[in-house]
Structure 1
Amino acid sequence: MSEFTVRSATPDDGQFLAEMVVEAANWRPAPARPRVTVLADPNYAHYLSGWQRPADRGVVATDASGESIGAAWYRLFPANAPAHGFVSVGVPELIIGVRHIWRAQGVGRALLRELVGEARRAGHSRLALSVEQGNFAAALYRSEGFDVVSGAGVRETMVLNLR
């Protein structure tokens, strides 16, 4: 089950990105947050609304049969409509979701590395994300150079310097 490829996300991937937002929100095995609850949360909705705006970039992982198994994407948010890991205007925030059965197989790391490359090519100097405390993905982010810049309550905001 370890064969996969990564491609650029397109406007047609919006529905799959919604599935990956739900996967990201449900990183714990149980209890799962219902899809409708996750997608109704304004903070999660920011990652999807109007996909694919001109500055949006993303990548999708597909298995050997061509089925989408994970995605990572970033967006820019205004100060008056931030998402979970907002740092400042002009700093894109990323989100990653991987189907449960594909976790811990390198999919998230491959998606993250490809998206970091996209951000560098687009000229961004930093990339931000938010991770719930206790989420094993935080170790992945730290290993790829992200540093915690704030952490109140159940979430930490992490930033990667791209320069």
Structure 2
Amino acid sequence: MILREATREDADFLADMLVEAVNWSPEWKRKSKRRVLAAPNTAHYVTGWPLDGDLGVVAEVDGASVGAAWLRFFTADDPGYGFVAADVPELSLGVVAARRGRGVGRALMRAVEDRARTAGIERISLSVERKNFAQRLYLAEGYEVVGAGSADSDTMVKVVSV
């Protein structure tokens, strides 16, 4: 597996990984890419990629993109689901279904955290539904629950540099 910086050319793939993140539960009816990107509260995670301050990584196996993790800053006027403050970017992470459970997500998280640290970012937030198996990964990687994002989700934060 190769991890590389996400570029402008990866915008469509990041949108695909956002769709994977939205559709994490096999019990739900799958939402289409069109539907995910038509909803402003989800589309703003990838719209205009990359905006100033955005950073991300893409995982490739045998030349094919298999996952991505990226950070985006939001404002109180246009918050993400895991918004805690304007100076704390929110993590988005998606891995193609066939590659889940093989360490891709963990490697992506660590790589994007390293880039955040280098950029002087001190904390990263995220939102995760409590039933999502990914919450165990976030806890294992040092994220802490800081509040309820909704009735079914938690907002989590990790300190990446001090």
Cα distance in 1 for partners of 2:41, 2:142 equals 25
Cα distance in 1 for partners of 2:25, 2:76 equals 30
Cα distance in 2 for partners of 1:45, 1:15 equals 12
- For 2:140, the equivalent position in structure 1 comes to 143
- For 2:26, the equivalent position in structure 1 comes to 29
Match of 2:101 among 104, 109, 127: 104
Cα distance in 2 for partners of 1:134, 1:128 equals 18
- Establish whether residue 124 from structure 1 lines up as the match of residue 130 from structure 2: no
Cα distance in 1 for partners of 2:4, 2:156 equals 25
- For 2:77, the equivalent position in structure 1 comes to 80
Q: Which amino acid aligns with 2:122?
A: S
- Establish whether residue 7 from structure 1 lines up as the match of residue 21 from structure 2: no
Cα distance in 2 for partners of 1:121, 1:96 equals 19
Query: How much identity, in percent, do the aligned residues show?
Result: 48
Measure how far apart 1:113 and its partner are.
Answer: 0.2
Gaps of 5+ in 2: none
Q: Which amino acid aligns with 2:157?
A: V
Measure how far apart 1:20 and its partner are.
Answer: 0.3
Runs of 4+ more than 4 Å apart: none
Measure how far apart 1:35 and its partner are.
Answer: 2.1
Match of 2:56 among 58, 62, 71: 58
Gaps of 5+ in 1: none
Number of residues of Structure 1 aligned to a counterpart in Structure 2: 159
Measure how far apart 1:131 and its partner are.
Answer: 0.7
- Cα deviation code 1:77-112 (max 9, x no counterpart): 111011111000110101000000100000000000
Cα distance in 2 for partners of 1:35, 1:117 equals 29
